[in-house]
C-alpha cells in the first residue's frame, strides 16, 4: 500500500490496449469517445503525490526481494532455532524488521540499490519467523493445543495485513505523508520487541509470569509426548533390527545348508571311489588265488 504513495505514478503512464478486432472498419465504427485521462494534479489531490521514479519492473523486483532472502534461510533456520533457542533468534529477526522499516524513508529516497539490499536482508530475517514459531510451539504447547496455536497465529497474520492496509491508506492521504507509515509500524515493532524480551522464554520452566501448576502441566504433557515418540522410534528400530537379524540368520542357515550338502556330496563321491578301488582289489586277489590253485593241481 505504501508503494502507491511513494512512487510517481504519472512518470510511467500505462500504454493503451491494442484493438484485438480483426476488422478495423468495424472497430472504428463501434469506437466510443475516450474519457479524459486524469491529470497529475488530480492524482496528487487524491493522494498519488509520490516522488520516487520507480518503473513497474523496479517495483516488482523490490516486492520479490524478501522472498529471495527467505528462501536462503528457511531451510536452516529451524535447526538454528532448536540449537540456540527460538526467543533470541525470533527477537533478532524482529530487530532486523524494525531497523529496515524505520530506515525505509531514508534509503528509498537516496538509493534504489540500498533499499533493494535492505529488503533482501529483511527477507533473510523473515526466513526465521515460521521455524522459530514452530520451535516455540513444540516447547510451550501440548500436542492437543498446537493446532489452536497455529490457527490463532495464521488468523492474526491475516487480520494484521487487512488492518495495516487500511491504516496505511489513511496515513498516505494525511499531511504526514507516506513516511509516517514506516515510522508508525517501526514504533509498534519496538513496543512488541520490548514485550517479547520481557515476557517470552524458551521453555515454561524459565518463565516467571505463569503459575507452578501450569508449568508442571506443560512439562508433563510435553515430556509424555516426547517419551511416546521416542518409544515408537525405538520399537521401529527394534523391529527393523530383529527383521535384519532374522534375515541374516535365515541367510546364514541357507549358506550352511548348502555347504553341508556340498560336503556330503564330496564324502559320497570319495566313498564311491573307495568302494570301487576295494572291489577292484578284491577281484584281483581272487584272480591271483584262482591262478595259484590251478598251478598246484597241475
Average pLDDT score over residue span 93-104: 94
Tell me the C-alpha distance between 130 and 107, whole Å: 27
Greatest Cα pair distance, the chain, in angstroms, is: 156
Higher-confidence residue of 144 and 288: namely: 144
Burial 175-204 (b: 16+ CB within 10 A, else e): eebbbbbbebbbeebeeebeeeeeebbbeb
Tell me the C-alpha distance between 46 and 271, whole Å: 112
Cα 150 to chain centroid distance, Å, stands at: 16
**Percent of the chain at pLDDT exceeding 70:** 65
pTM of the shown model: 0.65
Q: Which residue has the cell 516522488?
A: 51
Q: Can you list the alpha helix ranges (DSSP code H) found in 48-205?
A: 56-84, 86-110, 112-126, 129-140, 146-173, 179-199
The pLDDT, as a whole number, for residue 6 is 83
For 204-233, the pLDDT digits (tens) are 988 889 899 998 988 888 887 566 555 445
Q: Given a cut of 70, is residue 33 above it in pLDDT?
A: no
The pLDDT, as a whole number, for residue 34 is 47
For 157-212, the pLDDT digits (tens) are 889 888 988 898 888 888 888 899 999 999 999 999 999 999 999 999 888 898 99
Of 79, 63, 56, 177, nearest to 127 by C-alpha is: 79
Tell me the C-alpha distance between 183 and 123, whole Å: 19
Amino acid at each position: 500500500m505504501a508503494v502507491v504513495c511513494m512512487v510517481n505514478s504519472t512518470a510511467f503512464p500505462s500504454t493503451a490496449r491494442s484493438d484485438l478486432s480483426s476488422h478495423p472498419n468495424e472497430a472504428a465504427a463501434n469506437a466510443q469517445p475516450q474519457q479524459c485521462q486524469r491529470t497529475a494534479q488530480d492524482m496528487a489531490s487524491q493522494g498519488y503525490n509520490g516522488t520516487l521514479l520507480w518503473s513497474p519492473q523496479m517495483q516488482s523486483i523490490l516486492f520479490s526481494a524478501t522472498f529471495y532472502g527467505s528462501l536462503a534461510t528457511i531451510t536452516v533456520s529451524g535447526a538454528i532455532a532448536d540449537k540456540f533457542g527460538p526467543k533470541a533468534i525470533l527477537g533478532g529477526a524482529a530487530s532486523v524488521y524494525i531497523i529496515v522499516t524505520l530506515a525505509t524513508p531514508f534509503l528509498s529516497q537516496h538509493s534504489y540499490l540500498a533499499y533493494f539490499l535492505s529488503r533482501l536482508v529483511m527477507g533473510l530475517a523473515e526466513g526465521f519467523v515460521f521455524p522459530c514459531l514452530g520451535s516455540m510451539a513444540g516447547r510451550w504447547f501440548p500436542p492437543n493445543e498446537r493446532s489452536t496455536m497455529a490457527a490463532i497465529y495464521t488468523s492474526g497474520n491475516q487480520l494484521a495485513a487487512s488492518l495495516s492496509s487500511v491504516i496505511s491508506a489513511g496515513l498516505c492521504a494525511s499531511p504526514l505523508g507516506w513516511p509516517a507509515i514506516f515510522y508508525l509500524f517501526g514504533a509498534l515493532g519496538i513496543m512488541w520487541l520490548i514485550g517479547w524480551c520481557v515476557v517470552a522464554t524458551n521453555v515454561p520452566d524459565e518463565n516467571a509470569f505463569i503459575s507452578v501448576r501450569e508449568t508442571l502441566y506443560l512439562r508433563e504433557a510435553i515430556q509424555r509426548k516426547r517419551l511416546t515418540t521416542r518409544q515408537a522410534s525405538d520399537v521401529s528400530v527394534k523391529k527393523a533390527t530383529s527383521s535384519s537379524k532374522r534375515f541374516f540368520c535365515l541367510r546364514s542357515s541357507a549358506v550352511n545348508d548348502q555347504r553341508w550338502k556340498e560336503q556330503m556330496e564330496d564324502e559320497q563321491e570319495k566313498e564311491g571311489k573307495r568302494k570301487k578301488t576295494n572291489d577292484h582289489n578284491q577281484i584281483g586277489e581272487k584272480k591271483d588265488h584262482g591262478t595259484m590253485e590251478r598251478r598246484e593241481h597241475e
